[in-house]
Amino acid sequence: MGDLLLVRHGETEWSLSGQHTSWTDLPLTEHGEEQAKSLAPLLTGRTYARALASPLGRAIRTAELAGLSGLVTDPDLHEWDYGGYEGITTADIHTTRPGWDLWTDGVPPGPEGHPGESPAQIGARADRVLARVDTALAEGAGDVVLVAHAHFLRVLTARRLGLAPAEGRLFQLATGTVSRLSTEHGRPVIAEWNRRA
């Protein structure tokens, strides 16, 4: 059985500034493009049963620059909908909501079409992705790679390890990194985390 590789997209202006970025489709910075290119040695030489990416440009561009081919976009890999907190930093939120925590307090509704999501809703999306991952891994044709976003991939990791979605808070995930989830004695484990070339 293959491994599950998680790729967080390269740096954007908002990931650099700490602004919550879900549907705002910012391009990679020049440094973000270099981060993406540097991932190629970590991803080449493997056989992929499936390569999936968020439909957002920053994820697709990261995959392209990292040399992944045969990529299929999957809307379930979209970043957490931050609702009314899109584009706002945690520090700014704390000026009006001291002690606010995304993982426990959620987000207010945003503009039309962006009601915000709870950890449970993200967990449900992650579970759907993991069901597709398991099918691909069971076929025995290689690894599966997902190119997506920090908060979503953190929730997906929690779910893969049998934890509640909000426990994704335990897994800090840097831009332009590869992490690998594997198994040991039949149980899911983190084999590598936040790896850079």
Active site residue 9: yes
Closest CA to 59 of 85, 26, 86, 87: 26
79 assigned to active site:
yes
Position 149 scores a pLDDT of 98
Task: Tell me the backbone φ, ψ of residue 8, rounded to 5 degrees.
Answer: -90, 135
Residue 93 is inside which H or E element, if any?
helix 90-96
Asked whether residue 97 is marked as a ligand-binding residue, the answer is no
Active-site annotation holder among 11, 20, 78, 79: 79
Locate tokens 């059985």: which residue? 1
Would you say 48 and 143 are in contact if contact means Cβ atoms under 8 Å apart?
yes
Residue 147: strand pairing partners: 7, 53
> What domains can be seen in the chain, in order of their start residue?
4-195 (3.40.50.1240)
- 6: β partners: 146, 179
Residuewise pLDDT in 10s, the chain (197 residues): 899 999 999 999 999 999 999 999 999 999 999 999 999 999 999 999 999 999 999 999 999 999 999 999 999 999 999 999 999 999 999 999 999 999 999 999 999 999 999 999 999 999 999 999 999 999 988 999 999 999 999 999 999 999 999 999 999 999 999 999 999 999 999 999 999 98
Predicted TM-score (pTM) of this structure: 0.97
Looking at residue 89, its pLDDT comes to: 98
